[in-house]
Amino acid sequence: MSVVRSNLSKEQQKKLHSLFGHATLHLLYKASVHGFTAAAFHCRCDVQGPTIIVAYNNAGFVFGAYTSKNYSQSGQAIHDQEAFLYSITAENKPLRVAGITGQAAFTDAATGPNYGALVFLHEDRPQIQSNPGQAFNFNAAAMHGGNLALTELEVYRVEGLGDLLAKPWRIIQWTAERKKELMNVIQSYKPDINTVHQARVLLVGPVGAGKSSFFNSINSAFRGNMTSQAIAGAGRKSLTTQFRTYTIKAGKGGGTLPLILCDTMGLEEDADAGLDIDDIVNICKGHVKDRYQFSPSAPLQETSPGYNKDVTLNDKINCVVYVVDTCKVSLLTPKMLDKFAAIRKKTNLLGIPQLLLMTKVDEACPIVAEDLTNVYRSVYIQKMARELSEGLGIPLSCIIPVKNYSDELDLNQDTDILLFTAVEQMLNYSDSFFENQDTEEVELYRSNTHIRPVL
């Protein structure tokens, strides 16, 4: 007996999964195999729990409907606040349409799935009926391109993965003592090379991933109150247009931490948009001056005013940190993954250690939003970390979930512990960079007068 296979491409599967979070899809029904009839649909899809319909047309649209309720041919109008219609066409981000308040999601009859605005298998034929405004309101061109003939129809059972792991995949101490310990380690850090006084860390990531917000959050945690030194916000274009080097002070008017966080323009898919890869190389080598204005059309040239010719070890990047929005892990396009791969290749050639921060973990997972200490027990967060590890070729041990301060007015101990844990790893990886430098070149400057703090 041949296996019935899904028509979904890997990219379409990613987009579909992004609508659910932590769930798996089990194929129940495929119209080209089982028949384009309501009877065939109900035979395989009734009383299956949460399901999602995936329809395909000749215009290249992939769209459908989700319900958390059973199909049972009861003849009743079924209300379902979790139901939605969607479209995951190749060029766009997923379109998700919630039901109109107070109206039933679908009619549970013996016909094809009837969601009012979309009726599938209409008249037992490979076609849909489109009635925007009935239970769901959408733009027909965006949903299905106006093409009502179906080339395929599939139905999947949506199976949850569970919410919490039996035990966390990393052990974190969520105590005031641990927070204080981390702060002391960071404040007392000293590079092993006497002429270098601060670790220099570069933040790289897509537009809106949270690079500037990460600096603001670290700065706030050490200052003891909310700060907004780096420009941060939501938008399709990068709000950071300059190369910025930020220092952090321990309290208002306090001493400077032995850490410089370097912020960059956001990455974009197109080759002629966002931060240029050659500019990243120039930054890593120490050639880019603070406040250099990025140009997406051309990287920094040696003759440019922002070019630093006299480079010392103090100017070089010691650790590169990729910043990715956890909510958008499944939506990283092949173009963006290729750009990350190109950056990793260049960075590896320079011998610079690399980490990855998963931001917005609270927005990505409800149980983490409810209690941040669940971050390493969340099935979904671990799944996204593994997906990033596989997609970007970064070891799982180098991936760190964090939560930036965004809408809060007060500091939070658990948030600070996650942030400080990330900074501690950046300093550890910076040490690896210093240890990998040419021994003869730096031996005269290596310090033997201090001992690194050890936990």
Query: In a structure prediction context, what are the per-residue pLDDT tens digits for the chain, which is 455 residues long?
Result: 346 789 999 888 888 888 876 677 889 999 999 999 999 999 999 988 899 999 999 999 999 999 999 999 999 999 999 999 999 986 778 999 999 999 999 999 999 999 999 999 999 999 999 999 999 999 999 999 999 999 999 999 987 756 788 899 999 999 999 999 999 999 999 998 888 989 999 999 998 899 989 999 999 999 988 887 766 555 555 556 788 899 998 887 778 999 999 998 888 877 677 788 888 999 999 998 888 887 766 777 887 787 888 888 999 999 999 999 998 887 787 888 989 999 999 999 999 999 999 999 998 887 898 899 999 998 889 988 998 999 899 999 999 999 999 888 899 999 999 999 999 999 999 999 998 886 555 554 444 444 444 43
Q: How many helices (H) and strands (E) does the chain have?
A: 13, 16
- Residue 65 has phi, psi (to 5 degrees) of -145, 145
How many Å apart are CA 34 and CA 416, to the nearest integer?
54
Same domain? 21 vs 97: yes
Same domain? 234 vs 326: yes
Task: Name all contacts of 405-411 with Cβ < 8 Å and 24+ positions apart.
Answer: 405/213, 405/216, 405/217, 405/220, 405/226, 406/213, 408/226, 409/226, 410/226, 411/220, 411/221, 411/224, 411/225, 411/226
CA angle centred on 192, ends 191 and 196, rounded to 5°: 50
Same domain? 236 vs 347: yes
State the virtual CA torsion across 136, 13, 25, 154 in degrees, nearest 10: 60
Kind and range of the H or E run holding 106: strand 106-108
Same domain? 113 vs 256: no
Same domain? 128 vs 260: no
Same domain? 191 vs 46: no
Query: Looking at the domain assignment, is residue 452 inside a domain?
Result: no
Name the residue among 270, 265, 303, 258 with its Cα closest to residue 283: 265
Same domain? 100 vs 139: yes
How many Å apart are CA 217 and CA 212, to the nearest integer?
9
Q: What is the pLDDT of residue 451?
A: 41
Kind and range of the H or E run holding 424: helix 413-435
Same domain? 147 vs 224: no
Same domain? 294 vs 221: yes
Q: What is the pLDDT of residue 231?
A: 60
Name the residue among 339, 350, 336, 205 with its Cα closest to residue 277: 339
Same domain? 229 vs 153: no
Q: What is the pLDDT of residue 226?
A: 85
Burial bucket for residue 382 (CB in 10 Å: 0-12, 13-18, 19+): buried
> pTM for the full model?
0.68
Same domain? 214 vs 108: no
Beta strands in 287-420 (DSSP E): 319-325, 354-359, 399-401
Query: Looking at the domain assignment, is residue 249 inside a domain?
Result: yes
Query: Looking at the domain assignment, is residue 455 inside a domain?
Result: no
Task: Name all contacts of 328-332 with Cβ < 8 Å and 24+ positions apart.
Answer: 328/18, 328/206, 328/209, 329/358, 329/384, 329/387, 329/388, 330/14, 330/15, 330/17, 330/18, 330/384, 330/387, 331/14, 331/15, 331/18, 331/93, 331/94, 332/206, 332/391
Q: Which residue type sits at 338?
A: D
Same domain? 212 vs 154: no
List the structure tokens of 311: 């480079």
Query: Looking at the domain assignment, is residue 171 inside a domain?
Result: no
Q: Which residues pair with 149 in a beta bridge?
A: 127
Question: CB-hemisphere CA count at 13 Å for 168?
Answer: 11
List the structure tokens of 422: 């990330």
Q: Which residue type sits at 386?
A: R
Domain of residue 386: give its range.
176-445
> 10 Å Cβ neighbour count for 94?
18
Given 108, 125, 160, the domain boundary residue is: 160
Query: Looking at the domain assignment, is residue 170 inside a domain?
Result: no
Query: Looking at the domain assignment, is residue 165 inside a domain?
Result: no
Query: Looking at the domain assignment, is residue 85 inside a domain?
Result: yes
- Residue 325 has phi, psi (to 5 degrees) of -70, 120
Given 108, 130, 160, the domain boundary residue is: 160
3-state secondary structure of 128: strand
State the virtual CA torsion across 318, 339, 214, 362 in degrees, nearest 10: -130
Q: What is the pLDDT of residue 454?
A: 40
Given 125, 160, 195, the domain boundary residue is: 160
CA angle centred on 260, ends 257 and 262, rounded to 5°: 155
Q: What is the pLDDT of residue 318?
A: 95
Q: Looking at residue 207, which CATH number applies to its domain?
A: 3.40.50.300
Query: Looking at the domain assignment, is residue 5 inside a domain?
Result: no
Per the structure, the count of domains in the chain is: 2
Q: What is the pLDDT of residue 242?
A: 82
